[in-house]
Amino acid sequence: MVEPRDHTRGVPDPILHIEGLSKRFGGVRAVNNASFAVQRGTLTSLIGPNGAGKTTLFNLVTGFDRPDKGRVHFDGHNITGHSPPEIARKGLVRTFQLARDLSRLTVFENLLLAAQHQKGERLIVALVPIPMWRSQEKANSERAEELLELFRLTHLRNERAGNLSGGQRKLVDLARAMMMRPSMVLLDEPMAGVNPTLTEQLLERIVALRDEGLTFLLVEHDMDVVMRVSERVIVMAEGRVIAGGTPSEVRNDPAVIEAYLGVTVDRED
């Protein structure tokens, strides 16, 4: 069972700061003047009805889409308009809504791939017949083994990622993100399509990592989970940020209740 933690964390220290972010797709304002900050070392949830612009916001923050307006600051750098690999290398790592594993690579290869600053990824080094990248690869392998152990994936080590179940893939996604030694992770619906026991296991991992100082921004539909583990909740609807605060504050916010009412009835989960 995962316990909520103390919300009072002293001086604000935002690791991610978004100012007036906007993105239009044709006539649709997918994200409309969104501003918020995520404090270092917290688990913040981003919630909202379907179509609220959560995934678009993720894409804007991680460089997969260019914002029309607004700025994104991460860890003291303005990363607005940077490319996805640049942003990832700065330590802001994302996962995707659908577990998008590299199906033909094994679980182990998926993890090894994610290691940063690999010498052997430079063509000149890779061309040398004597693998000068061996020692680094060995160190990365050890870390990968540790992560597999931690995420209880060791038995799937040499399995192609495409052969795994949806829940197992989500675990691989998270383990792979950890391999990059990020300072902040954006998780896009990590529990979607995952069975309850595995959800609990994933959650346990996330909270443990948060306790070690990692920052998480989580998009999640399961309100139970969100209210239980997050220190702060940001609510989006129709592209706007309509509320933000502790779970209990948000739960009683009239704007949030209004935004959710029409939608909750339709929801099937």
CA distance 164 to 241: 36
CA-to-CA distance for 129 and 197, rounded, in angstroms? 47
Name the residue nearer to another protein (CB basis): 9 or 119.
119
Say if residues 193 and 96 touch (Cβ distance below 8 Å): no
State the Cα–Cα distance between residues 73 and 15, nearest whole angstrom: 8
Taking the least distance from each CB to another protein, the nearer of 67 and 247 is: 67
Smallest gap from residue 75 Cβ to another protein (A): 15
Which of 48, 49, 167, 239 is the binder for another protein (CB under 8 A)? 167
Write the DSSP assignment of 106-143 as a string of letters. Answer: BHHHHHHHH-SS-GGGSHHHHHSSS-TTHHHHHHHHHH
Piece of the chain touching another protein by CB under 8 A; list 20-28, 90-98, 213-221, 260-268? 90-98
Nearest to 72 by CA among 57, 86, 85: 57
Contact segment (CB under 8 A) with another protein among 45-53, 65-73, 151-159, 223-231 equals 151-159
CA separation for the pair 252, 163 (Å, rounded): 43
Site for another protein in 130-149 (CB under 8 A): 131, 133, 137
CB under 8 A: which stretch of 1-9, 29-37, 127-135, 218-226 binds another protein?
127-135
Q: Which of 13, 121, 211, 258 binds another protein (CB under 8 A)?
A: 121
Closest to another protein by CB, 205 or 240: 205
Size of the site for another protein (CB under 8 A): 58
**Closest distance between another protein and the C-beta of residue 211, in Å?**
20
What is the spatial distance between Cα 152 and Cα 99, in angstroms, rounded to a whole number? Answer: 18
Q: Residue ranges of the alpha helices (H) in the chain?
A: 54-61, 84-89, 107-114, 123-127, 134-150, 166-179, 196-211, 223-229, 247-251, 254-264
C-beta of 157: minimal distance to another protein in Å? 10
Q: How many CA atoms lie within 13 A of 189 on its CB side?
A: 16
Residue from 28, 37, 102, 242 touching another protein (CB under 8 A): that is 102
Helix (H, G, I), strand (E, B) or coil at 247: helix
Q: Which residues bind another protein (CB under 8 A)?
A: 62, 64, 83-85, 88-89, 93-96, 100-106, 109, 112-114, 116, 118-123, 125-129, 131, 133, 137, 152-156, 158-160, 162-165, 167-168, 171, 176, 180, 195, 197-198, 201
